[in-house]
Structure 1
Amino acid sequence: MHQAVIAATGLFTPEQSISNTELVEAFNAYVERFNTTNADAIAAGEVEALAPSSPEFIEKASGIKARFVMDKAGILDPEVMTPRIPERPNEELSVLAEMAVKAAKEAIAAWGKDASQIDAVLCAASNMQRAYPAMAIEVQQALAIEGFAFDMNVACSSATFGIKTAADFIASGSARAVLMVNPEICSGHLNFRDRDSHFIFGDVATAVIVERAEDVPAGQGWEILGTRLKTVFSNNIRNNFGFLNRAAPEGIGAKDKLFVQEGRKVFREVVPMVSEMIVEHAGDIGVDPHGLKRMWLHQANINMNDMIGKRVLGRDPTPEENVIILDDYANTSSAGSIIAFHLHNDGFGPGDTGLICSFGAGYSAGTVFVRKR
């Protein structure tokens, strides 16, 4: 058995960003048009009037202040309210692969080795651009990597499931180094006409290189102490879009072809599930959860993260202990915890421990305890 180490990470951030104020202005323009157009039906009680949004509502509900996106103009156009990303010819690198490659190149540069030394590529994300060929194989080709590649989708937990899979390949001897990428265009599955969720998601891509410990220079990287996965079926977070219903973007049931959730139910059910999972896993591998130097949790909602942090540490966590990046990035699904880890892993000495953790639709959850080498 070989010890697995997180050797490097990378991040691609889109150039365009939308503030809450900008998003609300577009949403409220849509609301005003809808209510005006349906004024008679609303007065007759046949149609429910839409309520406007506000930056204050968004920040209180989520902690989000802005989000990076691949197409700002389409989202902010009240007539469109969705990203407009042109389809590319098959001969060109697809947009999701392009994002993943950019994040991967940053990780490879930080790693300091050639991409040819990578044996496998995993594309772990919520929103795949197509069914096949696998996005991971396209990334593999773009980086001139031999070996094998495949996609995996466990919604917001895809990255931790990917790290677990990569670590298992390392442990079994199937690979010496694995590249795991998380390209997410979450704006593409978001209903920007829904007041309760129009602010939630942003776009980004992250990359993680997992390698055999003996191949990583002494004192570098993060030893993976333990990984654990959990799934419990729930309809409270769902997206029904797929190849069997792709021809019905409008009409009855159209809303369920985009992201939908029962937010309050998710909060009540996921927070205790994840908190208990973290504490139990920590105990099983001999880690004191109260002694964690830092937690890089899935960036879904600041209230969920605060509550989980408090339950795990047994007290209110400091901002340094419970990293929050969703104020700038919003919810980026599988990439959120990796962004937090990538941007805020400073200040660790040898032996200090931290936790990368995800949770989301499924329900799915993953814990990855790491120790600075």
Structure 2
Amino acid sequence: MKQIGTGIAITGSGSATPATTLTNDGLSQIVDTSDEWIVSRTGICQRRLAVPAESLAVLAASAGREAIAMAGLEPSDLDLILLATSTPDDLFGTACLVQARLGAIQAVAFDLTAACSGFVFGLVTAAQFIRAGTYRNILLIGADVLSRWVDWSDRRTCVLFGDGAGAVVLQASDRDRLLGFELRSDGTQNSCLNLAYQPQSQSLLEDTLIGQGTFQPITMNGQEVYRFAVRQVPEVIEKALFRANLSVEQVDWLLLHQANQRILDAVATRLKIPPEKVISNLAKYGNTSAASIPLALDEEVRQGTVKPGDRIVASGFGAGLTWGAAVFEWGLK
């Protein structure tokens, strides 16, 4: 039997983006492209880019601070900080740096990597700690600084990505607001989207070789990723809704990873969800990877569009390949 107070409520949100904006017209001065070409293929008009002094930890902590305040908590109330990111400041992990910046002295902190699916995977992971009765107050942050790893001479990829952070607070509740979820992975399609390490052979001794190198810029097979998303995302959403015992018509908002407006439109069409129920802000920020879902959610919450009790189905999809969906009610404890 479930313990009393081990349901999940999502009680606060926050976001942070760098001040520097790169428009499509600006990009056209770097590569052979145009505003019309980018908008027609992606729906993106501009993206935010972190300057060298803007670390992932700074953006993540700023978003987290807003979410904590909205939830009516203090950083010292947190039991766990979970940072979903593929672009840490330190390969050993950045969540502990965020913990220190927030002054969350009671919280354990660790990173989770699932690329653009990271926030949804993180949401489900965080929920298990609450459902088990282990923790009561969790800060989940999705943050990425993909501009560090973009090939700015490749117009197929450099037009897509931006930097940012988004966060939510999950709290233990007598009623469970995470209504259903479904997670998936398929490593056979890993080559479709990569930020890969490339070793270079180095001899230490005559019979001892090691590989030392660095990570290479993002590579992507855009057509395959598009086909994958349009085929798999509606299916995983339907499975999450089935687990929640809900129909598509009972959902107030569709909140997809902000990858490409054509993907958002195609998924909504497949599910027969009207455009007015689809949350989209990628025109302003581009693809911010693990940050995109919580960043878009926070904007709608602060504008009053998403209201307490609204039912949201969120789906992330991307490198791995990974994808998943979660159905939750916003803002009621």
Q: Same fold (TM over 0.5)?
A: yes
Deviation readout 1:275-317 (Å, 9 max, x if unpaired): 11111221222111133211111000000111111112x25x2
> Which of 319, 325, 330 matches 1:367?
325
Unaligned runs of 5+ in 1: 28-51, 72-84, 87-93, 217-221, 250-255
Q: Distance in 2 between matches of 1:104 and 1:180?
A: 8
* 1:209-248 mapped onto 2 (5 Å cutoff): 209-214=169-174, 223-233=177-187, 234=189, 235-241=191-197
Pair 1:153 & 2:113 matched: yes
Q: What do you get for the CA RMSD once the two structures are aligned?
A: 2.1
1:143 Cα deviation from its structure 2 partner:
1.9
Higher relative contact order (CA 8 A, sep 6+): 2
Q: How has the CA–CA distance of structure 1 residues 101 and 350 changed in structure 2, closer, same or farther, with 3 Å as cutoff?
A: closer
> Which of 13, 18, 26 matches 1:22?
26
> Which of 59, 68, 84 matches 2:48?
68
| TM-score, normalising length: structure 1 | 0.79
Q: How has the CA–CA distance of structure 1 residues 289 and 65 changed in structure 2, closer, same or farther, with 3 Å as cutoff?
A: same
Contact 1:159–1:334 (CA under 8 A) maintained in structure 2? yes
Q: How has the CA–CA distance of structure 1 residues 19 and 350 changed in structure 2, closer, same or farther, with 3 Å as cutoff?
A: closer
Q: Which amino acid aligns with 1:357?
A: S
Unaligned runs of 5+ in 2: 202-210
Q: Distance in 2 between matches of 1:147 and 1:231?
A: 29
Q: How has the CA–CA distance of structure 1 residues 350 and 150 changed in structure 2, closer, same or farther, with 3 Å as cutoff?
A: closer
Q: Based on CA coordinates, which of the two structures has the bigger radius of gyration?
A: 1
1:247 Cα deviation from its structure 2 partner:
6.2
Contact 1:296–1:323 (CA under 8 A) maintained in structure 2? yes
Contact 1:164–1:228 (CA under 8 A) maintained in structure 2? no
Contact 2:179–2:243 (CA under 8 A) maintained in structure 1? no
1:337 Cα deviation from its structure 2 partner:
1.2
Q: How has the CA–CA distance of structure 1 residues 349 and 137 changed in structure 2, closer, same or farther, with 3 Å as cutoff?
A: closer
Q: Distance in 1 between matches of 2:131 and 2:198?
A: 35
Q: Distance in 2 between matches of 1:264 and 1:14?
A: 30
Contact 1:341–1:356 (CA under 8 A) maintained in structure 2? no
Contact 2:68–2:75 (CA under 8 A) maintained in structure 1? yes
* 1:1-373 mapped onto 2 (5 Å cutoff): 1=2, 2-27=6-31, 52-71=32-51, 85=52, 95-132=55-92, 134-145=93-104, 146-214=106-174, 223-233=177-187, 234=189, 235-241=191-197, 257-312=216-271, 314=272, 317-318=274-275, 320-345=276-301, 346-347=304-305, 351-372=309-330, 373=332
Q: Distance in 1 between matches of 2:33 and 2:148?
A: 20
Q: Which amino acid aligns with 1:236?
A: C
Q: Distance in 1 between matches of 2:259 and 2:136?
A: 33
1:147 Cα deviation from its structure 2 partner:
3.4
Q: Percent identity?
A: 28
Count of matched residue positions in the alignment of Structure 1 and Structure 2: 313
Tell me which protein shows more strand as a share of its residues.
Answer: 2
| TM-score, normalising length: structure 2 | 0.88
Deviation readout 1:214-273 (Å, 9 max, x if unpaired): 4x9xxxxx9221232111111111111368799657xxxxxx811111111111122111
Contact 2:152–2:158 (CA under 8 A) maintained in structure 1? yes
Contact 1:296–1:338 (CA under 8 A) maintained in structure 2? no
